């Protein structure tokens, strides 16, 4: 299986200070053959401006591609925040730039960030917080066709103020089934995001998810760490590769200019 990381950030994202060159060096050190930067862009984000300077970003990636040619493949990707209020702007932004790969993600709902100490989890049971996130994902998958792979389906599990913040798959089988069915219908991929992989329960969640996606005849599985720092000591890429393989996928998907690589 390909040794790749298709979800990482650098100082072109408002929430990272990392030099992309350090990300490249660290990836080489860890034996990755290919990485795709997926910098944030959001239209109207509460409290932070995730505004991607695309031309500066592309310039820097192109120079890194030259410098590291033959050592590692470097792709220029995007993590776009899905928000139905900005449907036209989002479609335009994604299509007017020459990205290799686009992750569609949800980080906020109606201007409330899904994050620690925000109003999102306030006075909400865990099951409600998780259900609302999935309902919103389903709506966004209906609305948006502009992305290649759905980012961190388990994002809502990262920041909840609950003793066990992880998702109980069995409580959401119905809606997750609908999400997966729609992704496959629309030809969209699913991301295995290793951010929570230190928790066995999070890995089990992805195991169910991948099995469902395979049963629905889905073909596109991407893999990403979501690193915002050039530090791979907590990487779980091998475990993710293992999960993907066990679910019946023979390869991890990679993209060039929005087209699935052979």
Shortest CB 45 distance to ligand HSO, Å: 8
The H or E element spanning position 27 is helix 20-29
* Closer CB to Zn ion, 155 or 172, in the complex: 155
Is residue 15 a contact point for ligand HSO (CB under 6 A)? Answer: yes
- Contact yes or no for 160/117 (Cβ under 8 A): no
Is residue 194 a contact point for Zn ion (CB under 5 A)? Answer: no
Is residue 89 a contact point for ligand HSO (CB under 6 A)? Answer: no
Is residue 17 a contact point for Zn ion (CB under 5 A)? Answer: no
* Closer CB to Zn ion, 107 or 217, in the complex: 107
- Contact yes or no for 143/82 (Cβ under 8 A): yes
Shortest CB 170 distance to ligand HSO, Å: 27
- The interface partner of residue 39, options being Zn ion, ligand HSO, none and the CB cut-off 5 to 8 Å by kind, is none
x/- mask, Zn ion, residues 78-117, rule CB under 5 A, reads: -x-------------------------x------------
- Contact yes or no for 224/253 (Cβ under 8 A): no
Is residue 107 a contact point for ligand HSO (CB under 6 A)? Answer: yes
> CA 128, CA 111: separation in Å to the nearest integer?
18
Is residue 48 a contact point for ligand HSO (CB under 6 A)? Answer: yes
Shortest CB 262 distance to Zn ion, Å: 26
Is residue 15 a contact point for Zn ion (CB under 5 A)? Answer: yes
x/- mask, Zn ion, residues 144-183, rule CB under 5 A, reads: ----------------------------------------
CA-CA distances (angstroms) from residue 128 to 107, 123, 172? Answer: 17, 10, 11
- Contact yes or no for 222/150 (Cβ under 8 A): no
The H or E element spanning position 110 is none
Q: Which residue intervals of 152-262 are DSSP H helices?
A: 173-185, 200-215, 237-246
213, 104, 19, 112: CA torsion to nearest 10: -120
Q: Which residues bind ligand HSO (CB under 6 A)?
A: 15, 48, 107, 115
């Amino acid at each position: 299986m390909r040794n790749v990381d298709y979800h990482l950030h650098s100082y072109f994202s408002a929430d990272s200070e990392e030099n992309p060159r350090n990300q490249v060096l660290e990836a080489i050190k860890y034996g990755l053959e290919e990485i795709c930067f997926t910098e944030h862009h959001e239209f109207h984000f509460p409290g932070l401006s995730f505004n991607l300077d695309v031309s500066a970003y592309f310039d820097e990636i192109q120079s890194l591609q030259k410098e590291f040619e033959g050592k590692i493949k470097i792709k220029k990707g995007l993590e776009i925040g899905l928000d139905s209020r900005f449907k036209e702007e989002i479609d335009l932004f994604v299509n007017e730039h020459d990205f290799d790969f686009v992750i569609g993600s949800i980080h906020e709902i109606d201007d409330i960030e899904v994050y620690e100490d925000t109003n999102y989890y306030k006075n909400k049971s865990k099951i409600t917080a998780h259900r609302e996130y999935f309902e919103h994902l389903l709506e966004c998958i209906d609305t948006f066709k502009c992305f290649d792979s759905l980012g961190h389906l388990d994002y809502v599990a990262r920041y909840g103020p609950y003793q066990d913040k992880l998702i109980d798959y069995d409580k959401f089988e119905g809606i997750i089934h609908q999400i997966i069915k729609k992704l496959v219908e629309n030809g969209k991929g699913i991301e295995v995001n290793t951010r929570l992989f230190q928790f066995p329960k999070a890995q089990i969640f992805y195991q169910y998810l991948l099995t469902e996606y395979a049963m629905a005849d889905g073909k596109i599985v991407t893999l990403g760490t979501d690193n915002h720092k050039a530090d791979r000591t907590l990487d779980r890429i091998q475990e993710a590769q293992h999960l993907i393989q066990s679910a019946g996928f023979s390869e991890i998907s990679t993209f060039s200019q929005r087209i699935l690589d052979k």
